[in-house]
Amino acid sequence: MRGAPIAAAGRIVSGRLVEFAGNTATIQTGNGQTRVVRVTPQTRLPLRRPRPGDAVLVLGQPARDGVFNARAIALSRQRVNTVPRT
For 12-75, which CATH class?
mainly beta
For every one of its 86 residues, what pLDDT tens digit does the chain have, with 9 covering 90 and above? 444 444 455 699 999 999 999 999 999 998 999 999 999 999 999 999 899 999 999 999 999 998 999 999 999 875 545 444 45
**Whole-model pTM?**
0.75
38 sits in which H/E element: strand 34-38
Q: Give the integer Cα–Cα distance in Å for 31 and 29.
A: 5
DSSP 8-state symbol, 44: B
| Domain spans in the chain, listed from the N-terminal domain onward | 12-75
